[in-house]
Chains A and B, each alone.
Chain A
């Protein structure tokens, strides 16, 4: 409502002078006054054509003259660490190297470093040149303590400190110095350093699953579920303790492990032994002393099954089978 009255007021103000001038014109139409008025006033000419305007001077666009690449001016013995102090995207003018990178259609040289996106995309290590690293190490040395003399070799060191604890500290320019990733704790150790019997070893491996690397015998436990590093470290210790003691427990249902659950082939548990002994004891009466299959035969069958089949294992099996069946080999009897 208020807006509407405002608009009306404004219109009234605009129209007032116009109305006034109209009124004047009407007044001046009497015959006495009209010639003077005609001489005084010139008719404005309506010029529909474009009047040739005076040519305005063109604005000169000042271009900044690109400075020549500063790489050209670099002295040979400069301190490179000062030129390229930290990790940075590649810049052609700062790197005094004739680098080329990229693909061209014909067998021409790869594009040069100027305006080369290929060089900018890839990460570079220009801030980590050997002299710079050396310098940084020198600077860090003041914070280091000497290596203990008691554990000179790696064996000693592995023996006294079998467990490796890996954590990461992050350093960056932010208002906060906390980084959530620094809570993660990894512990690593060789399984052979734990005292486990055959059953416990088997159970331990089943419990840890893929955390164990059979090639290097290293077990890796990573904990990251707690908010603090200390909590995670303690949790890892707890896990290790629990695993160790749990693997020593034999549950009543473990005796139900059948042949199909076996990891390796055992001669004494299999039909192979039964067949071999039945053949050996063929025709023997019940009371007679039973023969047991040769240990070497059992070994050869186990090798064949566990190590996989190859010509060597088959020949070993053949030799043992011939002995078991009481057959003379061809070569030994031939002249």
Chain B
């Protein structure tokens, strides 16, 4: 690998000194992006510093003008392409916008997805394209339609997103989060539940509950995520804590202090972060039911909460089940139907579980009987592969972003067959084109 990188560097330098034409440079840059993506795909962590990228960036800085014509960086839009929509208000997205891309403002993206929420490969694409665009797709429009026509004084409705790998469950959830932000929901968003159970930062036995395991750093980082997502709305709502929370002899959060103070304490005292999450979600449920706020719960990989295995070992070297982890209970509680002014969007994903449960992506199989009974009655929302319209819209977008540069006649049909219209596969196949 190292020899490969070295020879690759030498080749780039050589070409630079040869002063090759700009067109060839564009191809080299594209190839480099592909190589980089491959390196990341195979998980060569030692190359995260990416010396090649640094070098190429220096070179690119010099030849920016030359490369501009072939770069994938966004340019100001003069006229609206037919695969885009100007409708920036997510609530207005309807059936007439299906298959069209809308742009998410960088500030919004920063607020919503700084600490996760978009798949890594999609993040990389955003970086390359220089803009965050999401396609308006039917599942998201459908859920928004339901939310808009829901009587919020009724018990919380649970929506379960399901679909094959790479069909866009997480991005549908991202779209809905944007909707929630716009509509003034307090967002309770877990980007990927399986991260807690598969690769926790640290585990510790719980101080408050006998026999339970804490994930202090994960809980604290979730609190940071929560605080970031709700940074604009929490001060406005000015929600108060309903009872005293005694953390230790010297530390208490008295009744009447704001939720923000509670969160700040949880972040500062990582030891109590797990309990803080529980307290916070409990308070949010109370406030929502009382009508002081409305809450959108969005949990990706929700089925991991019901899978009887984790990769966490307790102190006695026994595998901990999810129900023995302090973070599980609050998120199960908040997805019950016993509160109002809320909406739950849950996604079930077979990747969240181990391979033995990969046979079907359908919700009941993924949730298991216990999980099914927990969320029943729910609204299953299928996130499917691209249909024809969405596929062509996506191809046009990639052409527009110059993500696809070689477009021989009939290339789109070929891509369709190769990717089976699966959004994730299509993105990967188009990378080296």
B362 in complex: contacting residue of A282, A314, A334, CB < 8 Å: A314
- Would you call A275 and B376 a contact (CB within 8 A)? yes
Name the interface residues of A307-323: CB closer than 8 Å to any CB of B. 309-311, 314, 317-318, 321-322
B377 in complex: contacting residue of A270, A325, A333, CB < 8 Å: A325
Name the interface residues of A287-334: CB closer than 8 Å to any CB of B. 297, 301, 304-305, 309-311, 314, 317-318, 321-322, 324-328, 330, 333-334
Q: Which residues from chain B contact A318 at a C-beta distance below 8 Å?
A: 379-380
Q: How many chain B residues have a CB neighbour from A under 8 Å?
A: 29
Q: Which residues from chain A contact B154 at a C-beta distance below 8 Å?
A: 279, 282, 325-326
**Does A191 count as interface, using CB distance less than 8 angstroms?**
no
Chain B 375-393: CB-based contact to A (< 8 A → 1; otherwise 0): 0111110100000000000
- Would you call A321 and B377 a contact (CB within 8 A)? yes
Q: Which residues from chain B contact A334 at a C-beta distance below 8 Å?
A: 94-95
**Does A272 count as interface, using CB distance less than 8 angstroms?**
yes
Chain A 261-285: CB-based contact to B (< 8 A → 1; otherwise 0): 0000000001110011011001100
Expressed in whole angstroms, the minimum distance between the Cβ of B380 and any Cβ of chain A is 5
- Would you call B146 and A327 a contact (CB within 8 A)? yes
Q: Which residues from chain B contact A309 at a C-beta distance below 8 Å?
A: 360, 362-365
**Does B293 count as interface, using CB distance less than 8 angstroms?**
no
Expressed in whole angstroms, the minimum distance between the Cβ of B151 and any Cβ of chain A is 7
Closest B residue to A275 by beta carbon equals B376
- Would you call A325 and B157 a contact (CB within 8 A)? yes
Expressed in whole angstroms, the minimum distance between the Cβ of A17 and any Cβ of chain B is 103
Closest B residue to A321 by beta carbon equals B377
When chains A and B are docked, how far (Å) is the Cα of A330 from the Cα of B150? 13
**Does B315 count as interface, using CB distance less than 8 angstroms?**
no
When chains A and B are docked, how far (Å) is the Cα of A330 from the Cα of B138? 10
Q: Which residues from chain A contact B363 at a C-beta distance below 8 Å?
A: 309, 314
When chains A and B are docked, how far (Å) is the Cα of A335 from the Cα of B95? 9
Closest B residue to A300 by beta carbon equals B377
When chains A and B are docked, how far (Å) is the Cα of A330 from the Cα of B159? 14
- Would you call A272 and B376 a contact (CB within 8 A)? yes
- Would you call B150 and A275 a contact (CB within 8 A)? no
B142 in complex: contacting residue of A276, A314, A330, CB < 8 Å: A330
When chains A and B are docked, how far (Å) is the Cα of A334 from the Cα of B150? 16
Expressed in whole angstroms, the minimum distance between the Cβ of A266 and any Cβ of chain B is 13
The secondary-structure label for the interface of chain A is: helix
- Would you call B380 and A279 a contact (CB within 8 A)? no
Expressed in whole angstroms, the minimum distance between the Cβ of B185 and any Cβ of chain A is 18
Name the interface residues of B140-169: CB closer than 8 Å to any CB of A. 141-142, 145-146, 149-151, 153-155, 157
Chain B 344-377: CB-based contact to A (< 8 A → 1; otherwise 0): 0000000000000000101111000000010011
Expressed in whole angstroms, the minimum distance between the Cβ of B43 and any Cβ of chain A is 34
- Would you call A271 and B373 a contact (CB within 8 A)? yes
Q: Which residues from chain B contact A333 at a C-beta distance below 8 Å?
A: 145, 149
- Would you call A321 and B373 a contact (CB within 8 A)? no
- Would you call A276 and B157 a contact (CB within 8 A)? no
Closest A residue to B138 by beta carbon equals A330
- Asked if A279 meets B373 with Cβ closer than 8 Å, knowing A327-B149, A328-B149, the reply is no
Chain B 251-289: CB-based contact to A (< 8 A → 1; otherwise 0): 000000000000000000000000000000000000000
- Would you call A321 and B378 a contact (CB within 8 A)? yes
Q: Which residues from chain A contact B95 at a C-beta distance below 8 Å?
A: 330, 334-335
Expressed in whole angstroms, the minimum distance between the Cβ of B383 and any Cβ of chain A is 13
When chains A and B are docked, how far (Å) is the Cα of A279 from the Cα of B146? 17
Expressed in whole angstroms, the minimum distance between the Cβ of A329 and any Cβ of chain B is 9
Expressed in whole angstroms, the minimum distance between the Cβ of B354 and any Cβ of chain A is 19
- Asked if A272 meets B142 with Cβ closer than 8 Å, knowing A314-B380, A325-B157, A326-B154, the reply is no
Q: Which residues from chain A contact B146 at a C-beta distance below 8 Å?
A: 322, 327, 330
- Would you call A279 and B150 a contact (CB within 8 A)? no
Closest A residue to B150 by beta carbon equals A327
Name the interface residues of A191-226: CB closer than 8 Å to any CB of B. none
When chains A and B are docked, how far (Å) is the Cα of A246 from the Cα of B154? 52
- Would you call B377 and A324 a contact (CB within 8 A)? yes
Expressed in whole angstroms, the minimum distance between the Cβ of A273 and any Cβ of chain B is 10
When chains A and B are docked, how far (Å) is the Cα of A325 from the Cα of B338? 14
B155 in complex: contacting residue of A282, A305, A322, A328, CB < 8 Å: A282
**Does B113 count as interface, using CB distance less than 8 angstroms?**
no
Expressed in whole angstroms, the minimum distance between the Cβ of B49 and any Cβ of chain A is 47
Q: Which residues from chain A contact B306 at a C-beta distance below 8 Å?
A: none
When chains A and B are docked, how far (Å) is the Cα of A224 from the Cα of B150? 69
When chains A and B are docked, how far (Å) is the Cα of A291 from the Cα of B150? 20
When chains A and B are docked, how far (Å) is the Cα of A310 from the Cα of B359? 13
Q: Which residues from chain A contact B362 at a C-beta distance below 8 Å?
A: 309-311, 314
- Would you call B365 and A278 a contact (CB within 8 A)? no
Q: Which residues from chain A contact B145 at a C-beta distance below 8 Å?
A: 328, 330, 333
Expressed in whole angstroms, the minimum distance between the Cβ of A279 and any Cβ of chain B is 5
When chains A and B are docked, how far (Å) is the Cα of A317 from the Cα of B378? 9
When chains A and B are docked, how far (Å) is the Cα of A309 from the Cα of B151? 30
Expressed in whole angstroms, the minimum distance between the Cβ of A11 and any Cβ of chain B is 94
- Would you call A272 and B373 a contact (CB within 8 A)? yes
Expressed in whole angstroms, the minimum distance between the Cβ of B73 and any Cβ of chain A is 37
- Asked if A317 meets B141 with Cβ closer than 8 Å, knowing A271-B373, A327-B149, the reply is no
- Would you call B377 and A327 a contact (CB within 8 A)? no
When chains A and B are docked, how far (Å) is the Cα of A334 from the Cα of B96? 10
Closest A residue to B151 by beta carbon equals A326
Q: Which residues from chain B contact A297 at a C-beta distance below 8 Å?
A: 377
Closest A residue to B153 by beta carbon equals A283
Expressed in whole angstroms, the minimum distance between the Cβ of A152 and any Cβ of chain B is 50
When chains A and B are docked, how far (Å) is the Cα of A212 from the Cα of B138? 49
Q: Which residues from chain B contact A276 at a C-beta distance below 8 Å?
A: 376-377
- Would you call A327 and B379 a contact (CB within 8 A)? yes
Expressed in whole angstroms, the minimum distance between the Cβ of A301 and any Cβ of chain B is 7
14 extra A-B contacts, CB within 8 A, seeds A283-B153, A330-B145:
A270-B373, A276-B376, A279-B154, A282-B155, A301-B376, A309-B362, A309-B364, A309-B365, A310-B362, A314-B363, A318-B379, A325-B157, A326-B154, A327-B146
Q: Which residues from chain A sit less than 8 Å from chain B, CB to CB? A: 270-272, 275-276, 278-279, 282-283, 297, 301, 304-305, 309-311, 314, 317-318, 321-322, 324-328, 330, 333-335
> Could you list some 12 contacts between A and B, CB below 8 A?
A275-B373, A283-B153, A309-B363, A318-B379, A324-B377, A325-B379, A326-B154, A327-B150, A327-B157, A330-B142, A330-B145, A333-B145
- Report, nearest first, the 9 A-B pairs whose CB atoms are least far apart: A309-B362, A271-B373, A321-B377, A330-B142, A309-B364, A272-B376, A279-B155, A327-B146, A330-B145
